[in-house]
Structure formats: structure tokens, C-alpha cells
A and B are shown apart, each in its own frame.
Chain A
Amino acid sequence: MSENKAQDFQQLALQLAGNQTSAPWLDALRFQGSEQWLEANWPNRRTELWKYTPLQALQRGGFSTWASAQKHTLDDNATLKLEAIRLVFVNGQFDAEASSGADAAVVRFSQASEQQQAIIAENLGKTVDTKRHLFASLSNAWAQDGVLVHVPKNTKLDLPVYVVHVSTPEAEAAIANTRVLVVVEEGAQAELIEHFISDNQMQNGFVNSLTEISVAANARFDHYRINLEEEHIIHVGGVHIQLQRDSQYHGFTLAEGSKLKRIDYQVTHLGQGAHANLNGVYLPRNEQLLDYHTNMEHVAAHCTTSEVFRGIIADNAKAVFNGRIHIHQDAQKTLAELSNKNLLTSDTAEIDTKPELEIYADDVKCAHGATVSQLDQTSMFYLQSRGLTKTQARTMLSFGFINELLQDLPQAAVREHLHEHLTKLFAKEYFVS
């Protein structure tokens, strides 16, 4: 029966693609995406990449229509206080009023000049590995509007690009498809902040978001991706990054859980001397499910990767983490490290973590570590002996556990926003008993 449901969803998703109107120069990609989506085997428990993450919530969601353009009701505090090129999308549709700032380097697909259209056509869908990321093919099939960040050679974007995706409650279960394409040319530099939020009412949406980043030689790209939506939303996201010679990618991601949230990061080191730095925090609670899959493909030699993910899993929530490092045969002198630490705060919480190393070159140094643990009793005792209540002590220690990653964020606006948000969240939702 579940197979039928899966097929229903696969078919339905395609019909939706068919109903869309989009620019003719996207047709080839859309067709290819549709084909791949239809051919793809629907994941089940035996599918390694979806072993711990059931998709029933999506299949049973009854998603059959596109989300509509609406006004969101969020106050200013919900988004970052930041001077930036700000693009706001509500339910996947552009909200011109809420957006501000402009730069020639940032344009929506629908507004792209012919030259920019050529850049989009050349790059869109090219960095994506649809074999490992099933929903990327769906995103290709649904490609319509999106944001292009194109940084020309040897230039630096003065302001960060700030893309806000807001979800609002809909009468019917509805779908939003979001797309960002970043092309950083040789020696250029830019910063992107992606922020997913929602009104604080029950959502019945499905968001499929895909971000593609191509960083050319000697370029540097800073990237933040923050998922703080309400917990009933279904989010399937992917970030695909290609790094050329001596380029750098610095990424940070933080997510709260939801009914079903799955985020894939795929970094490919194509040129020698490329460096990727990816840190992440996941905080599922209640009945939420949160799944991070990261994959570092070291194709070229002399590249480095540093990856740290931390998670606090509370209540009945379940977190899944999979960190793969794949060193190809010619990627000699690679240095790759992955650390994943987890804190379980309740006996009904679950963590399934799997750091993977797949190495085909000999002159490399690779290491990964994973731990699952609870709060240190000695630390708890120390804090309580100083007069803190148990709850205060727990909150403080839990915050400290992830703060290591937060406190070093170069972007102050993100750091401060998250600090404030998490302080409130911890006080309200964690250890309240």
C-alpha cells in the first residue's frame, strides 16, 4: 500500500511540474529533472540513504497544490538585524515589499538579463548529484524562479546576500520550491545567509529547497543556512558545493526539528588546495525528526576538510546524522576531519549517527569521531553547588555544548540572533520539568 502512496506522490509531484509555467530556457533542466524523478526508486527502510528517515509524513501529507503568495505576519525581530541585500520569499513567492537593497550581482531568475540567463542555464543543476540527493531531481523538475548570486572575477560583494524563506499557514497542504544558485568567479568573494522561518501557527507545507554553489579558483564563499520553522512543516533541503583550485567554502548550518526535516550537504573538492569548513548544530525536540546527511567528495589532491556537527536531542525526538568523507584515488595529501557529538536529554530521544570514511588514496590523513552522551555529572554538581538550580545548570551546560560553534561565527548578526533565539528556546522548551 505504501508503495502505491509513494507512486501517488511521485506522479502528483510531476503533475504539479506540468501545471507550472516557466521560462523556456529552463525547459531542458525541467525535463531532465522530471525524468530522473520518475525513474528514481522511492526510498524505503532498506535504502541506505534513508534508512532512519521514513518519508511517510510526506506521502500521507496530501500535497497537491502550490503554496500561494501571502503576506507574512512576522515582526522585525524574527529576521536578522543586518544591512544586506535582502530577498524575502513567502511560500516560495517573491515578496517585493519586504525585500530591500539591490546589487547587480543578485537577481531573480525571472528578472535575469540575457547574459544572466546564459549563466543560469550554464550552471543550474550542474553541481547536483541527484543519485545521492533524490529531491534535487524534483527541484530541477520544479525549477521556476530562484535567486542568482553571480560575483564577477576579482570582486567582492560589499553586503551579504540575505535570503529569507517564510512559510505561512495554508488552507490546504501546499508545496513551495525554493532555489538559489551561486556562482563565485575567480578570486571573488561573497557571503550568503539563508534563513527559513515561519509564522508561529501550525503549518501544513512542504518545502523543497536547493542551493547550488560553485566557487572558482582562489575565491571564497561564506554561507549560513538557518532552519527555524515551526515544527509541522516538512522540509527537504540540499546544498551542493563545488570547489575549484585554492578556493574556500565556510559553511554553518543550524536547524530545529520538524515533522520531517532532511538536509543534504554535498561538497566536491575539484581543484587542488581547496578548503571546506562546515559546522552544524541540530536541535530536535518533541516528536520531531531531523536528519543531516553530509558528503565530502575529495576528487583533487592537497585539499582539506574540517567538519563539526553537534546535536542536542530532547523529548521524543529523533536525530539522524551521516557524515561521509570520500577520498578518491588521486586525492593524495588530503587532510579531512569530522567530529560529531550528541547529547541525549531524555530516555525517549534517539540518535542514529554514522560517520563514514571511504578512502582510496594512501597518503592522506583522515579521522572522524562520534560520541553520544549525557550532561557531565561533575559539571552539574559544580554548578548546583554554586547555587544554580538543576534546570539552570542543565540549560547552561547544554548551551555551552553548542556555543563552541556559535561563538566563533564571523557574522555578528547571525551570532546574536541565534544566541537570543536559543536562549529563549532553551528557557522555554528544554528542561522545564
Chain B
Amino acid sequence: MTEQVESLIRKDYAAGFHTSIESDTLKPGLDEEVVRFISAKKEEPQWMLDWRLKAFRAWQEMEEPEWAHVHYPDINFQALSYYSAPKSMADKPKSLDEVDPELLEMYEKLGIPLHEQEALAGVAVDAVIDSVSVVTTYRAKLEEAGVIFCPISEAIARFPDLVQRYLGSVVPQRDNFYAALNSAVFSDGSFVYIPKGVRCPMELSTYFRINEMNTGQFERTLIVAEEGSYVSYLEGCTAPMRDENQLHAAVVELVALDDAQIKYSTVQNWYPGDKEGKGGIYNFVTKRGICHRNARISWTQVETGSAVTWKYPSCILKGDNSVGEFYSVALTNNFQQADTGTKMIHIGKNTSSTIIAKGISAGQSNSAYRGLVRINAGASGARNFTQCDSLLIGDRCGAHTFPYIESKNSSAVIEHEATTSKVSDDQMFLCQQRGLDAEKAVSMIVNGFCREVFKELPMEFAVEAGKLLEVSLEGSVG
């Protein structure tokens, strides 16, 4: 018996021995060794490794969620590779000529400058000096204000106390299947810390972290806004991203301490698969923020990409008078599927939340709004307003609404309304009669339909988002 056990131990060890720390990619598969490898590769401290292992052990016992209104082939988690170093210059396309012309056409339509196109398509550009200078200017400005904005791997090394205190405090390791997976193997992501009373001098955008762009498929973001501070964070980009990973499972945690305000905007336009519904990214994201007293968290998202989206940016309104907001546009075309929405958990007194969700389905796609508004017994005077509208374009698509409303407090006021209809014939007639072609008319009507959400986006983003809808809807009319 002892011998057998020992041989087993030895076997394990031998396997671990073979995966050399120096190698750049891991063989497919996921076990504790892989988690250890990732942690070692990133030169993480022991507590971080323990944290990851705890998540991994939790993940092993968990089951993949099946309740979402999406269908996709089973994912073999042992067939994925969980670590790959950023591609070397040699592997990347040498110039834009080598990039997929369809992708370039899309950039053209969105009006993206050439050097940005190169960066987005992953071209090995020599413009490093230029971008570095931009980044440095920004960094200097932020440092002056005392704002920390760096990759989370760097934060683990430089600000272990902060990371240790807040990481997993909003989305615990065993929160859900994908969050546990992310906690175990997260590659990199952003860390933002806004000191007390500071108003972040600029919009923070992942875009300005060009050198850290390749954060991989398991991104982890942590934003901490100290008392009375303010930050606006932009994630993603209107341009379609070139990406080799099919499964994305990101986790975003926001902590808004007393009187703080966080505004988090996302534009997601990953590869949605081709017109037959082949390929495309699976985007399984856990996003959640916690609001302390008088704090405010606002989520704004424009989701047009990914083959399957599973995403519920949520707010825990823990402190009295805190405010949660969710503004969303989810557009699906061809065979895309989106199951997205939000959770507003009212715990503190006089908390309020607003949910505006606009879904647009075209082609053979399905989009669903799934939301939870929960008023706990102690949340006196809580207030929620929810509006979910869906627009259908074409007779083969689906639009669904699954709102959960749970109230345990008699002084709470909750309103929910949802409508579903197609683009009205009258509106189309009016536009066409004024000389607009059908496609232009639809895009105009859709833009109007989404206006309430777009106005929450930062200015430049809003313009791009409008264009993005136009491009994404191409071919869905007529």
C-alpha cells in the first residue's frame, strides 16, 4: 500500500518536473501543477499561489452552469491550454498586407487611423517609441494624482497589501464556475487604485496600455475607489479584436468605498463567428461591484461581438443611499447568442438602482435579458426602475426577457417594464419616403432606440458605438 502511494506521488512529481518553467506554452490540460506553473511563471508570492489553488479546488467541485438561454457544444476544459506567453515579433504579421482583408474593411468603416489598425490587428509595428511616449505622459499625470493604474501582476508584486485586501472581496473564488476558473488561472488584467478624495484626471482606458494588450483569455480587473474619489474606466474597443482564444472568462471587481463613484464602460466586439455561425468567441464574464455608503457604480456596455455572451454586470448596494446603474445595448446578428443583464442587490437603506437594457436581434440570433432585483428586508426606501426593450429584425431571431424580482421590504418601490416589437413599418416608411435606403433607415432607427444608453458613454465612444451598430447590422435587412 505505502509503495503504491509513493509511486503515485513520484509520478505526480515527475509530471510536474517535465513542465519546465522556461517553456512558453503549456500543454493542454488543467491540474494543480498548471496553476502552480502559472503562478511561478509570474513570480507570484506564496499567498497568491494559495489563493489560486483554493479557487482551483473549488472549481473542481463545481458544475458548469446550464440555466442561461444559450446553446453551444460542451467545452472540454482539459483540451485548453492555460498559459501562453505573448507572441514574439517574429510570429506576428509583418504588415497590414498580411492581415485578413475583411478585418481591414471593417476598420475602414469604423474610421480607425492606420497606426491604430496595426496595433489592433497585432502587427509587429515599430511604432513602439511613439506609443511609449504617449503612455509615459499619461503615467506621469496619473502618478502625480496618486492614481495607481498598472497590470494586476505588477500590482501583486508592488502593492500586495491592497491586492490581498480587495481581490476576491466582491467576486469570491467560488462564486460561480467561470469565476472560480478565472481565479485559478487568470493571466493578467488591470489594477486601478484611486486614493481618497481624488478625482481621476482622465478616463482610464485599457487602450492606453498597448504594451499590455495581450492579456489573454482569463482577464482579471480590480478597481478600488477610496472614499470620495471618482474614476471612469473604459474597457475594450469598437474595433474587432484579433484573438486566438475561443473561451474568455474574465472577472471584474469594483470596490466603491464611501462617497466614491465608479463609471465602467465596455464596448465588446470580439469575433462573433462567421455567417454560418462557425467559430467565434465564448465570452463568459463575471462583473460585480460593491457600493458602500453614498457610493455609486454605473455599468455601461455595448455588446456586439462574441458568438456566445454570458455576462451580468452587477451591483451590491451595501451602503445606505448608494446607487447602482446599468445601461446596456446588446446586439446579436447571424447565429450569435447573448444572455446578459444585471443583478441589483439592495441591502442598504434608501438605495436606488436603474436598469436600461436594449436588445437587438437580427438574423438567426437570440438575445436574452436576464436580471435580478433583490430588495433585502433591511433595505427600507429602496427604489428600482427597470426598462428592457427588444427590437427584432427578421423572422428567424429571438428576443427574451427573464426578470427576477424579489422583494422583502414593504417600503421598497420596484418598477419593471419590458416591450418587444419589430422595427415599425411606419418609421421605415417615413425614412424611406425621405430618400433613405432601407439599411440606412434601420440603422438610424436602431441608433435612436439605443440613444438612452449611448448618452451614458463617453463622447468619442458613443460616436464609435453608433457606427459599430451600423456595421454589425449590415446585411440583416432586405
**Chain A positions near chain B (C-beta within 8 angstroms):** 48, 52, 329, 332, 342, 344-374
**A344 and B407 alpha carbons, distance in the complex (Å):** 9
Q: Does B232 contact A (CB under 8 A)?
A: no
Residues of B within 8 A of A329 (CB): 395-396
Q: A332: which B residues are within 8 A, CB to CB?
A: 395
> From residue B402, how far is it (CB to closest CB) to chain A in Å?
5
Assuming the contacts A48-B67, A352-B404, asked whether A370 and B414 have C-beta atoms less than 8 A apart, the reply is yes
Other 10 A-B pairs with CB < 8 A, given A350-B406, A372-B405, A374-B413: A347-B380, A348-B377, A355-B401, A357-B390, A359-B392, A359-B398, A363-B422, A364-B421, A370-B416, A374-B412
**Contact for A372 among B401, B404, B412, B420, CB less than 8 A:** B412
Contacts of B420 on A, CB cut-off 8 Å? 357, 359, 364-367
Q: Which of B399-432 contact A (CB under 8 A)?
A: 399-422
23 sample A-B contacts, Cβ–Cβ < 8 Å, listed by A number: A329-B395, A329-B396, A344-B409, A344-B412, A348-B377, A350-B406, A354-B405, A355-B416, A357-B400, A358-B400, A359-B399, A359-B420, A361-B395, A362-B397, A364-B392, A365-B420, A367-B419, A369-B415, A372-B375, A372-B405, A372-B413, A372-B414, A374-B410
Q: How far is the CB of A222 from chain B (nearest CB, A)?
A: 29
A214 to B419, CA, bound (A): 30
Q: What's the least CB distance linking A212 to chain B, in Å?
A: 28
Q: Is the CB of A349 within 8 A of B405?
A: no
Asked if B16 lies at the interface with its beta carbon under 8 angstroms from chain A, I say no
A368 touches B417 (CB 8 A): yes
* Contact call A351/B422, Cβ cutoff below 8 A: no
Q: Which residues of A contact B402 (CB under 8 A)?
A: 354, 356
| Interface membership of B228, Cβ < 8 A | no
Nearest residue, chain A, Cβ from B425: A363
A368 with B401: CB separation less than 8 A: yes
In the assembled complex, the CB of A52 is this many whole angstroms from the nearest CB of chain B, namely 8
Q: Please, which residues of chain A bring their CB within 8 A of the CB of B405?
A: 351-354, 370, 372
**Number of residues of chain B lying within 8 A (CB) of chain A:** 37
- Cα A136 to Cα B469 with chains together (Å): 47
Contact A371 B416, beta carbon cutoff 8 Å: yes
Question: Given A359-B390, A364-B422: A373 and B397 within 8 A (CB)?
Answer: no
| Residues in B whose Cβ lies below 8 Å from that of A48 | 67
Contact between chains at B406 and A362 (CB < 8 Å): no
Which chain A residues border B410 with CB–CB below 8 Å? 344-347, 349, 374
Give CA–CA (A367, B401) in the complex, Å.
Answer: 10
Q: B393 within 8 Å of A by Cβ? A: yes
User: How long is the Cα–Cα vector from A372 to B409 in the complex, in angstroms?
Assistant: 10
Q: Top 7 nearest A-B pairs by Cβ distance? A: A362-B392, A344-B410, A372-B414, A357-B401, A369-B417, A370-B416, A367-B419
From known contacts A356-B401, A362-B394, A370-B414, infer whether A347 and B419 are also in contact, taking CB-CB under 8 Å. Answer: no
Which residue of chain B has its CB nearest to the CB of A48?
A: B67
User: CA of A354 to CA of B67 in the docked complex: distance in angstroms?
Assistant: 15
* Contact among A347, A349, A373 with B414 in the assembled complex (CB-CB below 8 Å): A373
B31 CB, min distance to chain A CBs, angstroms = 28
Q: How far is the CA of A364 from the CA of B361 in the complex (A)?
A: 14
Option from B375, B397, B398, B403 in Cβ contact (under 8 Å) with A354? B403
| A361–B421 CA distance with the chains assembled, in angstroms | 9
B168 CB to nearest A CB, Å: 24
In the bound complex, CA of A351 to CA of B393 (Å): 35
Q: Are B406 and A351 in contact (CB under 8 A)?
A: yes
**Interchain CB contact under 8 A, B395 and A362:** yes
Which residue of chain A has the shortest Cβ distance to B391 in the bound complex? A362
With CB as the reference atom, state the residue of chain B lying closest to A370. B416
Counting chain A CB atoms within 10 Å of each CB, which of B401, B413, B417 scores highest? B401
Verify B394–A368 contact, CB threshold 8 A.
no
Residue-wise, chain B 417-454 has the 8 Å CB interface mask toward A (1 for contact) of 11111100000000000000000000000000000000
A354 CB contacts on chain B under 8 angstroms: 402-405
Chain A residue with the shortest CB-CB distance to B396: A329
| CB atoms of B415 and A371 under 8 A apart | yes
Kindly list chain B residues whose C-beta atoms are within 8 Å of the C-beta of A362: 392-395, 397, 422
Q: How far is the CA of A342 from the CA of B414 in the complex (A)?
A: 9
B69 surroundings in chain A (CB, below 8 A): 358
**Chain B residues positioned under 8 Å from A355 (CB to CB):** 401, 403, 416, 418
Give complex CA distance A365, B390 in Å: 10
Q: Which residues of A contact B394 (CB under 8 A)?
A: 362
- The minimal Cβ–Cβ distance linking B420 to chain A, given in whole angstroms, is 4
A350→B421 contact, CB < 8 A: no
Contact with A along B81-119 (1 / 0, CB 8 A): 000000000000000000000000000000000000000
Complex CA gap A358/B415 in Å reads: 20
Which has the most chain A C-beta neighbours within 10 Å: B393, B398, B407, B411?
B407
A371 to B403, CA, bound (A): 12
- Other-chain residue from B407, B412, B413, B418 in contact with A357 (beta carbon distance below 8 A): B418
